[in-house]
Structure 1
Amino acid sequence: MTRRRTPRNSVIRLTTGRAARTLNHPFARREPVLALDFGATSVLVTTNGPVTFEDLEFARQLARESYRFARSLERSFHGLPDGKGVAA
């Protein structure tokens, strides 16, 4: 991850749980929309017009960091009560 050039002026924390889900909405005639749903709160990720190289790079970074996040969760998960699950 690269170092931030500007300081954060706010942080929004959205925690996962039973109501959390992600959905990709591909459209034939416009840019796709990625929806991150957290119960009553939704975050929509899309471009500001025609897709640019920077948009593609952001999408690749998002995919890479999401994969790393999932791997970190897998390493932290101690398993389900029935004994099935990923070992910590």
Structure 2
Amino acid sequence: MTRRRTHRISIINLNTGRGARATHHRYPARTPVLALDFGAVSVLVTTTASDQVTAADVDFARQLAREADAFACSVERSFRGLACGREAAA
């Protein structure tokens, strides 16, 4: 991950748990939406504009996917003691 250029003003901590889920929504007349639900709190991740996708949107989506995969691997490793990578699939 690259170094942040701005200082954080605030941090919002949303804990995973029984009610937490992530869902991807496709729409025919607008760009996709990623919904992160944490019980009574929802976070919607959308593109810059609802009618088009930019190169920056694609870059962010790929970065989000990489970091989410790394997060999932770390959580699984902590929970089950598995290594990340192909050997974890066995």
TM-score for the superposition, normalised by structure 1: 0.87
Paired residue type of 1:40:
A
Secondary structure of the residue that 1:58 maps to in structure 2? helix
TM-score for the superposition, normalised by structure 2: 0.85
In structure 2, distance between residues paired with 1:59 and 1:87 = 29
The count of corresponding residues between Structure 1 and Structure 2 is 80
Q: CA deviation at 1:87?
A: 2.8
Question: Kindly, what percent of the aligned residue pairs are identical?
Answer: 62
> Which structure shows the bigger proportion of residues in helix conformation?
2
The alignment yields a C-alpha RMSD, in angstroms, of 1.0
Superposition pairs of residues 55-66 of structure 1, within 5 angstroms: 55-66=57-68
Q: Could you list the runs of 5+ residues in structure 1 that have no partner in the other structure?
A: 78-85
Q: Could you list the runs of 5+ residues in structure 2 that have no partner in the other structure?
A: 83-90
Superposition pairs of residues 1-88 of structure 1, within 5 angstroms: 1-49=1-49, 50-77=52-79, 86-87=80-81
Q: CA deviation at 1:58?
A: 0.2
